[in-house]
Structures are given as C-alpha cells and as structure tokens.
A = this chain, B = another copy of it.
Amino acid sequence: MWQSLLKNIVQGDFKALARAISFVENEVEGYEQFLSELPNSNTAVIGITGPPGAGKSTLVDALIAHWVAENKKIAILCVDPSSPFHLGALLGDRIRMNEWYTNPLVFIRSLATRGSLGGLHPHIIEITSLLQAASFDFIIVETVGVGQSEIEIAGLADTTVVVMVPEAGDEVQGMKAGLMEIADLFVVNKSDRPDADVFVRNLRSVLYQAKERQIETVVLKTIASSRQGIVELANAIELHQQQSSTSEKKVWLLTERVYQLIQQKKMQGIDKEMIKKNIAEQFNQPGFNLFLFAKQLF
C-alpha cells in the first residue's frame, strides 16, 4: 500500500496525497517508516501569517489566481490554531477559497489543531514534507499569528509573509515585536485605508532600525479584495526564494524541524489529562511537592 501511495503522490495524485495526510494525522501504523522514505525535496514553503481580520485568506485567494494563470501547481495548508485555553478555535476567515477546491492545479487542506499549547498542529512538519514530495511549484501554509504559532511558522517556512492592516500607526514598534522578527516580507493589506502611508513609513523605519537583519525586509502594499499589488507580492516571494535560500537558512529550518520532531516523540506517552486527574487527587495533601510529582513521570 505505502509504496504505491508514495509513487502516486510524487506523480501528482491529489487523492493519494490527501489519503497520506490523513494517515499521518491519524498516526496509521507504518506512517513513520513511510515518512523516512520520502525523497529529498527543495520545494520552498511560503508561510502566511498575521492577525485575524488582516485579510490573509483573500490574499491567498488572489495569489492562487495569479499562479494558476501561470499554470503553476499550488498547495495550501490552512492551519487554525485552537485556543490553548479552551475558548474555542480562533476565528478563521476561511471558506473564501471555495472556487479552487475543484481546480486540478490547486490542492487545499485545512488542519485543526487539537494540541494544547497554542501550536500549529502536532504533525505540521510531516504534512508539509508530504506536500514537498508532491512536486508543487508553491506550497503555502496559512495561519493566524498568535502565540507560539508565529514562532513555529518561522521554523517551517522558507519565506514568511506577515500580513497586517494599516492601523495602530505609532504602536508598530511595540505590538508587532514578535511578528517583526519572523517576517521576510511584510504586506500592508487594505492599503486604501486613510493612514496606510503613515503606517508603511513607520514600519519601514522600525525595520530599518533592526540592523541585525542581513537581508532587507520588503514592505508591500496590497488591496487583496480588488487584487491590487498581487503581482508585486508574487514577484517578491519568488525573488526572496531565489536570493535567500542560503545553506545557512536551510540548516536553521531543518534544525528547528528536527528539534520539534524529537520533542514530539519524547512527549508521546505523556498524557496531560491523566496528569491533571492525578494532581486533582493529590495537590491538597500536606506533603505534595510539584517536583517530586513530576519526577515520577520522567
């Protein structure tokens, strides 16, 4: 089964790819062996992130249209990080990409995080690797930039695009510190809003101050809803991938991935619900000590 699955994936069979993703998601027996037989691939991953409401989905939709017109094959992974505090999934403005579901050049998959600590998805690395094996021209991973997910996306994507809306002009420096560091490209979407130019100027000046960056961070203006600035964005992404696919960055990305995979493996048997249950029974007893308790589970 696995051998023909791999063959079909490499040949571009979307159904085989979808099935393999499900196998990985559900940890079907043999999936680890299967992953260790994936061919080495260099397809670059584009991470698109930013706050909810910034227009990420509309932007992705416009990028798909652009590349499909050029007859490119595109994979899109939509990841909705669920809340780490059980307040439900962080509103995803999905579903706008409907029209692409039947296009033979476009593969779309949504993943819901069931993990607990605000991460992207327990198997995001594996699933991205499956996409890389499937000979797409572009792979997009789209996610809301909250908490840990923005760090994870930076460890996953060769090009990280951060989408924002022109607001909060003078707070650029503060609020976006986390996003600022991971961005290879900045997109100021909805740039027909009144203060767009001020915002872009502030952003550029803040980026300029962060001189440690070796490569200049490009700031682009778009109006995704009317597809303005999309050609420029697509070009900037392609240019970034040509210029920045240095060995150094590649090694950094692979190291982050390996580290995550190891962590995932090592924590496999650790059941948070069970810990919780035991703590609930014991924490009120006089001799309770956090470190002694944890030690039993090492």
Contacts and interface: CB of A to CB of B under 8 A. Distances in A.
A241 interface: no
Contacts of A53: 171, 173-174
B276 A251 contact: yes
5 contacts: A38-B289, A125-B290, A148-B148, A175-B175, A261-B290
A127 interface: no
Interface of A: 32, 35-38, 40, 51-54, 83-88, 90, 117-118, 125-126, 129, 144, 146-148, 150-151, 154, 165, 167-168, 170-171, 173-175, 177-178, 181-182, 210, 212-213, 247, 250-252, 254-255, 257-259, 261-263, 265-267, 270, 272, 275-276, 279-280, 283-284, 286-295, 297-298
A258 to B, nearest CB: 5
Nearest to A32: B291
Contacts of A266: 263, 266-267, 298
A292 B258 CA distance: 10
